[in-house]
Structure 1
């Protein structure tokens, strides 16, 4: 259910209510009990879509894509040194496992 924001024009009280889309707008202010409440336009939930498959990532301009590729290559080259160390460590672990299985 959506959240609606209301403001009373008599006492300037503001509040939120969870209501069905089909429900009639609230007219009565919970603070002053007058029928002066009005539904106001709010900013919403701040919905953000991330990842592939969304318009912003699939249809970006060429200049943005070139800048993103350059940044990606720069980060890969700086992390490439640490990646080679972890690969050599993982390789030595697998050879010790095969040595144990051949001894048994």
Structure 2
């Protein structure tokens, strides 16, 4: 089940485990205050090579040097 982040006007922020098909909460389970669901960004992890600009430039420069040496 996904974890949803809510913000209560009285209590502040809290997390709630809910089924994806459940409706959003309308009141805080602690104080019965009005709540809003906070939309967060997903965590992304890039794995592998060539995700950084520095790597691409260094690798392409070395490749060009190697090609020019082989041609000579």
Q: Specify the TM-score bucket, using the shorter chain as the normaliser.
A: 0.5 to 0.7
The structure whose Rg is larger is 1
* Separation of aligned partners in 2, 1:66 and 1:13: 47
Task: Count the aligned residue pairs.
Answer: 62
Q: How does 1:1-104 map to 2 (within 5 A)?
A: 1-9=1-9, 11-34=10-33, 36-44=34-42, 46-51=43-48, 57=50, 64-68=55-59
TM-score (norm: length of structure 2): 0.59
Whichever structure has more helix as a proportion of its residues is 1
> What's the Cα RMSD here?
3.1
Distance 1:48 1:19, change over 3 A: same
What TM-score, normalized by structure 1, do the two folds share? 0.44
Bigger fraction of residues in strand: 2
SS of aligned partner of 2:4: strand
Unaligned runs of 5+ in 1: 71-104
